Amino acid sequence: MQTGTLLILSAMGFLGLLLSILIFRAASTPLPPPPRRLGSDILEEFSGVEEDLAALIRFPTVSWFEAGREDAAAFTSLPVEVARRWPLIAARTLRREAGDRAILLEWPGTDGSLQPLVLSAHWDVVPADEGWIFAPFSGSVENGEVRGRGAQDTKVTMAAILGACERLARASWNPRRTLFLAFGGDEEVGGIRGAARMAAWFRERGLRAACLLDEGGVIADGLLSFVDRPLALIGTAEKGYLDATVETVGAGGHASMPPRSTAAGSLARAVAALERRPFPPRLVPTVRAFLDGLARYAPFAYRVLFRNLWLFGPLIVESFSSRPSTDALARTTIAFTMLEGSPKENVLPERARANANVRILPGETIATALGRLDRIARSRRARAYAAHEGTASDPSPETLPAGPAWEALNAALAASRPEAGVLPFLFSAGTDSKHWVGLADAIFRFAPILQTPADLSRVHGRDERIAVDEVRRATLFYREFIREFCGPRDATIPRSAAIQEV
């Protein structure tokens, strides 16, 4: 046989082998059962939780960096309302020593050898500007919706957690594992007085939680066109945060006799250079686990891609960069948000500054991200430094999507939202959970509410609202999660039985 023929034959053999590996890996994806739905009659027993949420919304607990702008009365009276509305659970130990922006409740378990569970939410909100179709703090229940600021972010999870606990306590159920409810009143401005104080309280007592569950991902509906069901995106990691100042220095003076380039010109060149050289993309373990899990719910062609990241990883990263929402999953992002130069039209700037808002991918740190910015800035006669100490945070460690807490989340979703797929997810915004790093074996960021992209646009936006059924279903989720993870599963509380095939 000629060498040419041999070469062609072995190349064909190799391609055949490669193709069979790709197809075998895709075909061996464990597939989920067809989506099922709950009968909505199961939610009847939670009627009333929407009124509790509406009541929380009526407190205008708007966080500001300037403390003088805050409504102090709202912040002192909301905790009083919690004790009034959820009397059984609030009668458990309230840890007042955690400070006035913390509502820390401890429900002691019967088995002291088990590490506690912490359920977290925040009761402050962002400001509401003009143009709402209803009053942002009216807290009304209309057209099957609870309306107002905080309805989605995150008074809904707070009301649902409290509602679940109150109902369990009313049924004389007691947890084996100690349960902490940790509600912070300043998440939107960093969580220093709320979550950080509660975490410190925990640390001082040498406590360590088995699991902390805070806000984060949602049950995303209509996120991906090729998936036939909603996807519960459980944040198993969180990107870091940094505001960096990029600065140039000039001579100042009158603008009538300027040098060829001013500090403003150098700054523009530095900003352009930094935008031209984005951080290199990479697939972190959480995103790999997300894609691997996504294969279960995707058509075969996608399964071939997602189950063979060893080969198609670079191709996927490449396609991620075409959309900001997916690009953020694969790299540290920089967004220039503020510019500042001379204070007057005819005065040359002595300094020009830009603020770069940086979201740091796991695997990097504040220091490495800042180092890269500064290196590139210096090549354009600028420098980069941390804008204000205290608000920067390193990326979180990546929690494995496995173990008893992960299993309990899956069981609670199967009981409350059986039609949803479940996936680990990289959360690119910040949450209070950053203060709890090192104090819990597993940290998950997830709110059990169904959200379309249009719903999500109202978070921090106008006309924030949520369907009454979502509030009730979230309460069912937390009740099932608590019973599953803290135990015991008591037969006297009806299990969500009415699951019907669609």
The residues assigned a catalytic role are 124, 187
Which residues have CB under 8 Å from 477's CB, separation 6+?
Answer: 160, 164, 412, 413, 415, 416, 417, 448
**CB 153 → Zn ion: shortest distance, Å?**
4
Residue-by-residue DSSP string for 246-298: EEEE----BTTS--SS-HHHHHHHHHHHHHHSPPPP---HHHHHHHHHHGGGS
Q: Rounded to whole angstroms, how far apart are CA atoms 470 and 448?
A: 8
Q: What is the DSSP string of 348-381?
A: --SEEEEEEEEEEPBTB-HHHHHHHHHHHHHTTT
Cβ proximity to Zn ion: between 192 and 264 the closer is: 192
Q: Is the peptide bond before 488 cis (omega within 30 degrees of 0)?
A: yes
Q: Is 103 left (phi over 0), alpha (psi -120 to 50) or beta?
A: beta
Q: Which is nearer to Zn ion, 154 or 248 (CB)?
A: 154
Find the shortest distance in angstroms from Cβ 184 to Zn ion.
Answer: 10
We find the least distance from the C-beta atom of residue 325 to Zn ion, in angstroms, to be 18
Closest approach, Cβ 154 to Zn ion, in A, equals 5
Closest approach of Cβ 124 to Zn ion, in Å?
9
If the CB atoms of residues 50 and 464 are measured against Zn ion, the closer one turns out to be 464
Token digits for 407? 């299993």
Q: SS3 breakdown of the chain: % helix, strand, coil, rounded to 5?
A: 40, 25, 35
Cβ neighbour number for residue 312 with a 10 Å cutoff: 17
CA distances from 178 to 124, 198, 478 (A): 26, 16, 15
Supply the minimum distance, in Å, between the C-beta of residue 163 and Zn ion: 19
Phi-psi region of 460 (alpha: psi -120 to 50; beta: other; left: phi over 0): left
Rounded to a whole number of angstroms, the minimum distance from the CB of residue 61 to Zn ion is 12
The residue ranges that bind Zn ion (CB under 5 A) are 153-154
Buried b (16+ CB within 10 A) or exposed e, 150-183: bbbbbbbbbbbbbbbbbbbbeeebebebbbbbbb
Residue nearest to Zn ion (CB): 153
Question: What is the rounded distance in angstroms from the CA atom of residue 320 to the CA atom of residue 308?
Answer: 16
The distance of closest approach from Cβ of residue 198 to Zn ion in the complex, given in angstroms and rounded to an integer, is 16
Cα–Cα distance for residue pair 195/186, rounded to 1 Å: 8
Sign for the CA dihedral angle at 168, 170, 176, 180 comes to positive
In the bound state with Zn ion, the residue whose beta carbon lies nearer, of 139 and 430, is: 430
390: left (phi over 0), alpha (psi -120 to 50) or beta: left
- Least distance from Zn ion to the Cβ atom of residue 431, Å: 7
For 323, how many CA atoms within 13 A lie in the half-sphere containing its CB? 7
Contacts of 144 (CB under 8 A, 6+ apart): 467, 468, 469
